[in-house]
Amino acid sequence: MFFYKFPSGPFDTNAILIGCSETKKAAVIDPSLGSTDPILEKASEGGVSIEKILLTHSHWDHIADLHVLKNKTHAPIYVHPLDAQNVEHPGSDGIPLFFPIKSAVPDHFLQDGDVVEIGHLKLKVIHTPGHSPGAVCFYIESEKLLISGDTLFKGTIGNLQLPTAEPGKMRESLRRLSELPPDTHVVPGHGDDTTIGDENRFFQN
Ligand SMILES: [Zn+2]
Ligand SMILES: [Zn+2]
């Protein structure tokens, strides 16, 4: 596996380039503002092709470069159906945009339990509503890696004050993450990496 993080945009949203070293197939997760050029540069350095664009959720800071990346790679866009509307109509989720964001059309809908393949890598989709209705995490069991979007961070959990939030659903989402092995490495949508074990205080009660 190869894995690169590109904190980009006004909130340092972690765009991710992830892929399979053997097949040189890659996916981008959460193309935040300004992440496209460094991602494409890294991909071309490594001779890898970007075959999928995956979204942990559709808040604007995670999709700001989506139309740019889509136009340059023609890779299909994957999002959970409950977060799809804000991809097509950015700003329709009620969160004010910092700047205009062009719309994009999702190509595939992610569902809980789906397995997205990138070469030999398998990313299991865990639907984790709470921060937004269609929030998902991507779990790669073979690498002991969780890409948690804005559901779980180092030292905190996703903001539940936003118009998209469903606070009542967050507890069950966190409970599901708590079932992963404690040494699972977690890469959140913002900030530093952590592990499931280090955040277990958020899984109580
Ligand atoms: Zn968010
Ligand atoms: Zn975010």
SS (H, E, C) 139-192: EEHHHCEEEEECCEECCEECCCCCCCCCHHHHHHHHHHHHCCCCCCEEEECECC
Q: Which residues contact 77 (CB under 8 A, 6 or more apart)?
A: 53, 55, 66, 70, 87, 104, 105, 106, 107, 108
Domain that holds residue 197: 2-203
Ligand nearest to the CA of 128: 1
- What pLDDT does residue 34 have? 98
**pTM, rounded to two decimals:** 0.98
Residues 161-165: what's their mean pLDDT? 96
Determine the distance separating the centroid of ligand 2 and the alpha carbon of 62, expressed in angstroms: 6
At 58, which CATH number?
Answer: 3.60.15.10
Determine the distance separating the centroid of ligand 2 and the alpha carbon of 58, expressed in angstroms: 9
Cα distances (angstroms) measured from residue 120 to each of 2, 43, 112 = 12, 18, 20
Ligand 1 ion: Cβ-proximal residues, 5 Å cutoff: 59, 150
Confidence of residue 139 (pLDDT cuts 50, 70, 90): very high
Determine the distance separating the centroid of ligand 1 and the alpha carbon of 165, expressed in angstroms: 9
Confidence of residue 205 (pLDDT cuts 50, 70, 90): low
pLDDT digits (tens, 9 = 90+) for 79-135: 999 999 999 999 999 999 999 999 999 999 999 999 999 999 999 999 999 999 999
Determine the distance separating the centroid of ligand 1 and the alpha carbon of 104, expressed in angstroms: 18
Residues 56-70: what's their mean pLDDT? 98
Q: Please, are residues 57 and 131 in contact by the beta-carbon 8 Å criterion?
A: yes
Determine the distance separating the centroid of ligand 2 and the alpha carbon of 22, expressed in angstroms: 31
pLDDT digits (tens, 9 = 90+) for 33-55: 999 999 999 999 999 999 999 99
Ligand nearest to the CA of 131: 1
Q: Which tokens in the block code for residue 36?
A: 């496209």
What total of structural domains would you count in the chain? 1
Burial, 28: exposed, middle or buried (Cβ in 10 Å; 0-12, 13-18, 19+)? Answer: buried
